[in-house]
């Protein structure tokens, strides 16, 4: 049995993001099965690159969550299994949860006796994609929160939305950040099912790997540096002194 600790911030080194920025800015896409490169447009990821980029944030979140839960193992789940591969672990990878609305795959989960924490990252990688898809993305996140909360109302749900700063118009920046503030405002297990306990907006500079302000309000809940506090507070209120945690 592990002792609960404070959850560290979810952090991605600028050097790591800068390496991804060179792919985002380049003209070479993911290799074909035979190893030959494929061309792509400048200023965007191809589909595989975008999926792999999102896993950087999944791994960072999973590591921070495992620290909070007492330095428990981080493991790769079986994508079709409804239980974790070992009793007390954080799963990073496609994790299947049967919610009240539909089965749903999450990127990270802690489910020792059912889902206690689930997490998903979303990336939109160019201006055209942001313009066309950000509202559908918000609808997807609300549905993901609702499907798990209708069956597991005590579950802590967290989301990170990752956007390249050069591709985000100022007008949509304000709309997305304010919408995520509302989406990530769930206070307790009696609050509305479609809300999440935490939602963060990450704006990254592909040229430098630096993160930019997610909101003009320094106290906004969508800043990545505040996400860990919201998750820790919700989890401790609902699960401290309960197995598998020590008192």
Q: Is residue 51 part of a domain?
A: yes
**Model pLDDT, residue 32:** 82
Looking at the predicted structure, is the pLDDT value of residue 173 above 90?
A: yes
pLDDT, tens digit (0-9, with 9 covering 90-100), for 43-96:
999 989 999 999 999 999 999 999 999 999 999 999 999 999 999 999 999 999
**Model pLDDT, residue 247:** 65
Q: Is residue 5 part of a domain?
A: no
pLDDT, tens digit (0-9, with 9 covering 90-100), for 138-148:
999 999 999 99
Q: Is residue 244 part of a domain?
A: no
Range of the domain at 126: 14-239
Q: Is residue 77 part of a domain?
A: yes
Q: Is residue 1 part of a domain?
A: no
pLDDT, tens digit (0-9, with 9 covering 90-100), for 20-45:
999 999 988 888 888 787 888 899 99
Q: Is residue 145 part of a domain?
A: yes
In percent, the amount of the chain with pLDDT more than 90 equals 87
Instruction: For residue 102, count other CB atoms closer than 10 A to its CB.
Output: 11
pLDDT, tens digit (0-9, with 9 covering 90-100), for 92-130:
999 999 999 999 999 999 999 999 999 999 999 999 999
**Model pLDDT, residue 35:** 77
The residue-averaged pLDDT of 131-139 equals 96
The residue to which tokens 């690159």 are assigned: 49
pLDDT, tens digit (0-9, with 9 covering 90-100), for 153-163:
999 999 999 99
Q: Is residue 9 part of a domain?
A: no
Q: What whole-number distance in Å separates Cα of residue 241 and Cα of residue 173?
A: 41
Q: Taking all residues of the chain, what is their mean pLDDT, rounded to a whole number?
A: 95
**Model pLDDT, residue 160:** 98
CB 69 within 8 A of CB 239: no
Looking at the predicted structure, is the pLDDT value of residue 1 above 80?
A: no
**Model pLDDT, residue 65:** 98
CB 145 within 8 A of CB 157: yes
For the chain, the domain total comes to 1
In percent, the amount of the chain with pLDDT more than 70 equals 100
Q: Is residue 130 part of a domain?
A: yes
């Amino acid at each position: 049995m592990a002792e609960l600790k404070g959850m560290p911030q979810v952090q991605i080194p600028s050097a790591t993001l800068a390496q991804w920025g060179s792919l985002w800015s380049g003209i070479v896409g993911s290799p074909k099965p035979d190893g030959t490169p494929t061309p792509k447009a400048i200023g965007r990821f191809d589909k595989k690159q975008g999926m792999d980029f999102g896993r950087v944030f999944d791994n960072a979140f999973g590591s921070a969550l495992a620290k909070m839960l007492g330095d428990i193992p981080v493991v790769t789940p079986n994508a079709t299994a409804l239980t974790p591969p070992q009793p007390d672990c954080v799963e990073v990878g496609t994790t299947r949860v049967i919610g009240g609305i539909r089965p749903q795959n999450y990127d990270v989960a802690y489910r020792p006796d059912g889902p206690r924490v689930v997490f998903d990252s979303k990336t939109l990688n160019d201006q055209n994609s942001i313009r066309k898809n950000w509202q559908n993305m918000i609808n997807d996140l609300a549905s993901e929160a609702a499907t798990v909360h209708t069956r597991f109302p005590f579950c802590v749900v967290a989301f990170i939305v990752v956007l390249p700063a050069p591709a985000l118009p100022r007008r949509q920046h304000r709309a997305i950040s304010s919408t995520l503030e509302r989406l990530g405002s769930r206070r307790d297990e009696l609050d509305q099912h479609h809300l999440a306990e935490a939602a963060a907006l990450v704006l990254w500079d592909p040229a430098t790997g630096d993160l930019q302000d997610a909101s003009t309000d320094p106290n906004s809940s969508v800043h990545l540096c505040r996400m860990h506090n919201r998750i820790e507070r919700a989890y401790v209120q609902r699960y401290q002194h309960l197995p598998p945690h020590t008192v």
